[in-house]
Structure 1
Amino acid sequence: MERRGVLLAVVIAALFGIVSLQAVLRGAPTPLALLVRLFALNAFCALAVAAMMTPFLGEIRAVFGRPFIRMHHFFVAFGLSAAILHPLSVAVLAASPSVFIPSFASWGAFWALAGRPALYMLIIAAGAAIFRRRLGGAWRFLHMLVYLALLFAIVHANLIGTDLADPVVGIILNGAALGVFAAFVLKRYRRWRR
């Protein structure tokens, strides 16, 4: 791995470490309540990193010395696992499976609980990548649901996420969301230029 790769890996690890440490320092009434927050924070960070690296296929290989797809899938697998464990933990904590059902009670309730539909979008996007040969060209469209899911997730986090009240965590997660948007635009711009 190049020196740039080591530096980038340290920066990425620091992002995960900082948001997790801030959550631990804020404390929680129970260990499970803390896990709920840690799963959410780390899921968003991992999926945002995976999305932000998509315009840089060649650069990722050069910097990390590994194929882009391996690096991308590492972050996706970690992020999707944590994204699934987050509502599972909430369901255990609430002793109710209703946390998996999107809320249409009101406009505000929908967005406050937007993590619920975001989870299904992530699963569809991951499934589209797995079955891309069978889906033909449609897989790319379905895979782009990741961007919409991350938008829903960051709105959900800002509205009811405990840890985004911390300015450091808020800057990191909202900055990552902006990075995802920038990566989305850059990727399409590069395609258009070609």
Structure 2
Amino acid sequence: MEASAPRVVVGLTGASGAIYGVRLLQRLKALGAHTHLVVTPAGVLNAHHELGLSRPDLEAMADECHPLGDIGACIASGSHPTDAMVIAPCTMKTLAAIAHGFGDNLLTRAADVTLKERRRLLLMVRETPFNLAHLRNMTAVTEMGGIIFPPLPAFYHRPQTIDELVDDTVERVIELLNVGRGSPKRWTGL
């Protein structure tokens, strides 16, 4: 890994939308980023159901993979240099744990570390409609410096495929993570 290569922690949970995490890993690799991957058991089930991918398939997309229970992994410490973290997709359970500092597994601990070190944290929350607990948890994470990014597609560029919708959303995420040059479709006005 180059010393200047961005270092990004990527989490996948059991919410619908595994394609966002997979496409993000692919795009980060293309940008030369060094990725750390943490996938929940429900995230593996969902990736298998939605995309036909196994845990080894997911792990092959990352530079380093960490078991959810490995609370002693390098990314559990603020002394380990990373630039950003994204959870794509992010369940409401994971959001709640992060909002309340409940770092009982590596994914939520790494998110807590990202916030305490004032690094970029982006949560692609997947649930609808939101209830009051969801909204309050999103507010709490935002107040701590995190970015809540529900993967809501843009239609002004007239996408023709699901892949176009996913790719444009992932490019927006890349920009917000500030780890590479994203290339979402730009609104140019009427």
Q: Same fold (TM over 0.5)?
A: no
Of Structure 1 and Structure 2, the greater strand share is in 2
Of Structure 1 and Structure 2, the greater helix share is in 1
Structure with max Cα Rg: 1
Structure with more relative contact order (C-alpha pairs < 8 Å, separation 6 or more): 1
TM-score (norm 2): 0.29
TM-score (norm 1): 0.29
